[in-house]
Amino acid sequence: MTKVGIIGATGMAGSATFKAAQEAGLDVTAIVRNADKAKQNLGANIQLIESDAFNLTKSDLEQFDVVVDAFATAPEKAYLHTDLATHLVATLRETESPRLIFILGAGSTFVGTGDQRHFAYEDIKADPNNAAWQSIPENQLYEFNFLKDVKNVSWTGVSPGQLFVPGELADKVLYGKDDMLFDEQGRSQTTSDTMAKAIVDEIITPAHKQERFIVTNG
Assign residue 169 the CATH number of its domain: 3.40.50.720
- Angle at the Cα of 170 (from 168 to 171), degrees rounded to 5? 130
What is the reported pLDDT for 214? 98
Q: What is the pLDDT of residues 27-70, one digit of tens each?
A: 999 999 999 999 999 999 999 999 999 999 999 999 999 999 99
What does the pLDDT average to over 9-28?
Answer: 98
What is the reported pLDDT for 31? 98
The model's confidence at residue 189, banded by pLDDT at 50, 70 and 90, is very high
Q: How many domains does the chain have?
A: 1
Number of Cβ atoms within 10 Å of the Cβ of 118: 11
8-12, 129-133, 166-170: which range is least confident on average? 129-133
What does the pLDDT average to over 71-84?
Answer: 97
2-11, 91-100, 109-118, 158-167: which range is least confident on average? 109-118
Q: Report how far residue 111's alpha carbon sits from residue 199's, in angstroms, rounded to the nearest whole number.
A: 23
Asked if omega into 128 is within 30° of 0 (cis), the reply is no
Task: Show the domain range for 85.
Answer: 3-217
Q: Report how far residue 58's alpha carbon sits from residue 61's, in angstroms, rounded to the nearest whole number.
A: 5
What is the reported pLDDT for 10? 97
